[in-house]
C-alpha cells in the first residue's frame, strides 16, 4: 500500500480563455470539478551533485484520473488511469519556476485586493525569490544549466533550457 498526498490538476476551462478571471473563481475550479491528480517523487540522475543538487534533480510525476470528478457524492472514486512522466533536471527547474511564478501572481493579486492583510505575505514571497537563501535560487539554476558543459553533455535538453530562461525572465 502506498499513501501519498496528491495535488489536483485543474483542467483548462474554455470559458475562461483570453479573459481576465478573478483569482477567487480560478481557485474554486482548482479544487472543484477535478478528476486529474498528480504526485511527484524526486530522485537524482547519476548520483547527487554535492555542489549543486539541481544539476541532477529529476522528478517522476504520476498523473491519475478518477472515474468521476471530485468533490462528489462519495468521499472517493476509483482511479481509472495512471500515467508516469519523467522530468529531467532542466524540466524540473522550469516546473519549479513556473509554480513560483503562479504563487507570486496569486500573492500579488491578493495584496492588491487586500493590502492590509496580504502585503506581508507578498513581501516574504518576493524576498524568498530575490535572495534565494534556502536553496540558492536562480543563481544555482544558472550555474547548473546555462553553461556549455551541460549543453554538451545533454544536447537533448537544449529546448528545455530555453524554456527555463523564458520562465526566469517572466519572474
Residue 87: which CATH number?
A: 1.20.58.740
Only one residue has cell 549543453, namely 151
> 1 in a domain, yes or no?
no
From 123, 147, 122, 54, select the one nearest 94 (Cα to Cα).
54
How far apart, in whole angstroms, are the C-alpha atoms of residue 79 and residue 32? 17
3-state helix, strand, coil in the chain (%, to 5): 50, 20, 25
> 52 in a domain, yes or no?
yes
Pairing between β-strand 34-44 and β-strand 7-8 as defined by DSSP bridges? antiparallel
Q: Is 142 left (phi over 0), alpha (psi -120 to 50) or beta?
A: alpha
From 29, 30, 24, select the one nearest 112 (Cα to Cα).
24
**pLDDT tens-digit map of 107-139:** 888 878 777 877 778 887 777 777 665 666 788
How confident is residue 160, by pLDDT bands cut at 50, 70 and 90? very high
pLDDT: which is higher, 61 or 52: 61
**pLDDT tens-digit map of 23-60:** 788 888 888 999 999 999 999 988 777 778 888 899 99
> 87 in a domain, yes or no?
yes
> Domain range for residue 152?
7-170
Only one residue has cell 513581501, namely 123
> 2 in a domain, yes or no?
no
Given this model, what pLDDT does residue 38 score? 95
How far apart, in whole angstroms, are the C-alpha atoms of residue 109 and residue 17? 19
What percent of the chain has a predicted confidence (pLDDT) above 90? 29
**pLDDT tens-digit map of 66-123:** 999 988 888 889 999 999 999 999 999 999 889 888 888 888 888 787 778 777 788 8
Domain tally, the chain? 1
Given this model, what pLDDT does residue 69 score? 92
pLDDT: which is higher, 17 or 160: 160
Amino acid at each position: 500500500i502506498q499513501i501519498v498526498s496528491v495535488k489536483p490538476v485543474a483542467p483548462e476551462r474554455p470559458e475562461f480563455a483570453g479573459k481576465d478571471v478573478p483569482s477567487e473563481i480560478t481557485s474554486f475550479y482548482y479544487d472543484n470539478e477535478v478528476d486529474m491528480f498528480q504526485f511527484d517523487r524526486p530522485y537524482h540522475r547519476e548520483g547527487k551533485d554535492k555542489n549543486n543538487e539541481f544539476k541532477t534533480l529529476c522528478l517522476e510525476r504520476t498523473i491519475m484520473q478518477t472515474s468521476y470528478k471530485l468533490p462528489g457524492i462519495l468521499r472517493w472514486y476509483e482511479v481509472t488511469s495512471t500515467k508516469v512522466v519523467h522530468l529531467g533536471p532542466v524540466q524540473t527547474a522550469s516546473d519549479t519556476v513556473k509554480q513560483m511564478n503562479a504563487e507570486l501572481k496569486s500573492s500579488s493579486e491578493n495584496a492588491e485586493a487586500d493590502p492590509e492583510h496580504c502585503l506581508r505575505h507578498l513581501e516574504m514571497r518576493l524576498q524568498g525569490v530575490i535572495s534565494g537563501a534556502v536553496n540558492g535560487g536562480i543563481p544555482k539554476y544558472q550555474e547548473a544549466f546555462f553553461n556549455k558543459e551541460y549543453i554538451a553533455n545533454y544536447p537533448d535538453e537544449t529546448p528545455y533550457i530555453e524554456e527555463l530562461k523564458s520562465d526566469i525572465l517572466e519572474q
